[in-house]
Each structure stands twice: as structure tokens, then as C-alpha cells.
Amino acid sequence: MGTTKSEFRSIVVFGGAGFIGSNWTERLLKTTDAKVHVFDNLSRMGARHNLDYLQKIAGRNGRLQITVGDVRDAAMVGRVVKYATEIYNFAAQVAVTTSVADPRLDFEVNLGGTFNILEAARRHGQDPFLLFTSTNKVYGNSGDGVVRALGSRYVASRSRGTDETQPLDFHSPYGCSKGAADQYVRDYARIFGLRTVVFRMSCIAGQRQFGSEDQGWVAHFLYSTLEGKPLTIFGDGRQVRDVLHVDDLLNAFEAAYANRKSTAGQIYNIGGGEENTTSLLELIDRVEELTGARAGYNFCDPRAGDQLIYVSDSAKFQRDTGWKPKADLDVIVKSIYKWYRSNRELFAPSRSERYAQAELLTPMRRVA
């Protein structure tokens, strides 16, 4: 993926200090000659740590620029993307629970912020490649047919995963905002000719993920078990998801860009597929076996908008690009565990307390 003199790449990564954004920025800095502009409001846990890490990688080569800002600021977004040849939009309100508690915030960030990015890309005339990460939540219950409990997981009468022909069915403000945003992204390709791609993603997991109860549940289960903190299982724990390693997602970004003549204007379901599924209860067993620690948990009522089963069918993207996931679930969990053990200082006295203090006490450097 290295650049050549005939291929100058000026890349803006919205949400570039988050889990996916920081991993993608690291990949770009290490494997390409692109100039990378990270745009982030630093609201996510671990964002400052991720920026420090990226600055160390970039050194003084002048290829990394950082702007602290919010995608709801249309003027600032417009200035940032003015000369971009590529745009990746990972900036989002990411939790269903937060969307229910504050639907206006969810709407303004996920839909309004995406609209600001699209308009800026349309107006600046550089014809940028634009990739937007959406969610499986746009499919609601995903039409799994008859679902029944079998041991520690649910199974569906329809065995295949969910593909892009599944009707949209928004079951939460989060699903509404992300689904409306991905339709705007698609329509800007059809109406205005922007080279846009939408990824409707399943569960993404891997290194540098600061998991919480609302987002990044694989990491959250692992960290809580290691720290002796009780887990809350919403529902009965038999809910099934497919999981994709973040490195495989980065490979998908590269594949979408490399094949942009065919991927532009398309929507793709991206996930680990049938081979990388787990229920919540099965993941707890896997974590306990790997770490030797005992997980404590209790059960609560299911959360609004939760899906009993969601498994991605990524066959369309595989046909268009040749991409396939490489990491299985054991590799995924072990990569998070390895990163945790190498960064224990980030998890004391507690993740929430540490980063609440950091937001108040540590001034952020802006790098030009």
C-alpha cells in the first residue's frame, strides 16, 4: 500500500484517536507515505493515550497533524477536509443506551456530523474517496426467523448470516441515526458522484480497545474479569454475535481503497462471519479459560434494540475485493489480553477515574 510520486495521499481520519481510528492511523503511518490528519474531540476513554502513541510513531516526519474539534462544527470540518484525497469517518456516538438517554446528541453527532463531512467533501472539489463506518443495528432483529435456545447460545431457523438485501429496521435512536447517515453517504455517491463506501459492521475487537458496558463488549468482559469487577448480562447471555479483529478491519479498509473503482457507491456488511461467532456466556467461558480468573456476573432485563442473533454475511465484499478475515476468536481475545498486560498502568486505579482525571488535568497539544 505504499504511495508513489503519482499517488499523493492526504488523509483525514475523523475519530482518529478512538479505537478503530488510532489503529487505522498507525497502519497508514507505518505502511504508506500518506499525510494523515487526525480529527477528534477526545471524548472517548483512552483518546489522549492513543494520540501520544501516534505522535511517537510519527516522530518529526511532518506526516501527522492533529486537530481537536467536533464534527458538529461544520466550518471546522470544512477547513480540515479542504485538501483531502481520502476521508474516513469513524466519529460517532457509539452506544445504544446513550442514544436512548440523549437522542438529540446521538442525532446531531451521527447524522449531523456525517452530513457536515459529506457537504465539505462535495464542496471542496477534490473528489475524495470517503469511507463511513455504520452498524449492524440498522437491521433491527435482522429477520432471523424462529430463534430458540440451544445450550449456551441462541440458534436461528435461518442459518446464513445477514447480507445487504436485509431490509432496514431501526430499533433505537442509535440505529436511526447511523442508518440515516449511511443512506446519506450512499446517496451522495448516486446524486453527487462522490466516491463513498459504507461498512455496516458487526463487533470489532482488538488491541487498544478501552471496552465499556455500552461499547466494546469483548474487551469489557475480559478487563472486568481480570479486575474482579462484576459483569451485568442484559438478557440471558445466549445472544450471539460475530466478531472481527481490528487488523482484519484495517485490511478491509485497504481493500476498499485499492478496489475503489468497484467499491465506490456500495454498502457492505463487514464482520467475522459464521466462523467467528460467540454468545456472551461462551465468551465468558473462553475468557476464564485463557486468564485463569473467575468472572462474576448477574442478569438484568434485555436492553431496548438488542438483537438475539446477528451474524454478518460479507460475501459481497469478498467477491468485490478478495478480502477475507484471517484472525479467529482465540486470536482476537489473546490480542486484547496481550495489550492489556502491556498497558496495565492505563487501568489503575480504574479506567473511568483515570481518564476523567486526565481530561481535567492534562492540556492537549495541537500538532501542526
pLDDT in tens, 287-320: 999 999 999 999 999 887 678 999 999 999 999 9
Is residue 274 assigned to a domain?
A: yes
The residue annotated as part of the active site, out of 88, 139, 174, 223, is 174
pTM of the model: 0.91
Question: Which grid coordinates belong to 145?
Answer: 426467523
Classify 116 as helix, strand or coil. Answer: helix
Residue 13, C-beta contacts closer than 8 angstroms, at least 6 positions apart: 21, 24, 25, 28, 36, 37, 38, 39, 88, 90
Q: 90: closest CA among 15, 28, 31?
A: 15
Q: 10: pLDDT confidence band, cut at 50, 70 and 90?
A: very high
Alpha-carbon distance of 238 to 331, in angstroms, equals 22
Alpha-carbon distance of 344 to 350, in angstroms, equals 10
pLDDT of 2 over the 60 cut? no
pLDDT of amino acid 145: 66
Is residue 42 assigned to a domain?
A: yes
Q: Which domain holds residue 184?
A: 10-361
Q: Check residue 96 and give left, alpha or beta (phi > 0: left; psi -120 to 50: alpha).
A: alpha
Residue 319, C-beta contacts closer than 8 angstroms, at least 6 positions apart: none
Alpha-carbon distance of 55 to 58, in angstroms, equals 5
Is residue 55 assigned to a domain?
A: yes
Question: Could you tell me the CATH number of the domain that includes residue 17?
Answer: 3.40.50.720
- Span of 1-15, 257-271, 299-313, 352-366 with lowest mean pLDDT: 352-366
Q: Which amino acid is at 204?
A: I
Planar angle of CA 101, 141, 318, nearest 5 degrees: 110
Q: Considering its fold, how many domains does the chain have in total?
A: 1
Is residue 267 assigned to a domain?
A: yes
Percent of the chain at pLDDT above 70?
90
Alpha-carbon distance of 264 to 350, in angstroms, equals 43
Average per-residue pLDDT in the chain?
Answer: 90
pLDDT of amino acid 159: 65
What average pLDDT does the segment 50-60 reach?
Answer: 93
Active site residue 188: no
Is residue 336 assigned to a domain?
A: yes
pLDDT of 165 over the 60 cut? yes
pLDDT of amino acid 45: 80
Q: Which helix (H) or strand (E) holds 78?
A: helix 74-80
pLDDT in tens, 195-253: 999 999 999 999 999 888 778 999 999 999 999 999 999 999 999 999 999 999 999 99
CA distances from 127 to 123, 186, 192 (A): 9, 15, 10
| Burial degree of 157 (CB within 10 A; 0-12, 13-18, 19+) | exposed
Cis before 167 (ω within 30): no
Is residue 2 assigned to a domain?
A: no
pLDDT of 41 over the 90 cut? yes
Is residue 38 assigned to a domain?
A: yes
Percent of the chain at pLDDT above 90?
76
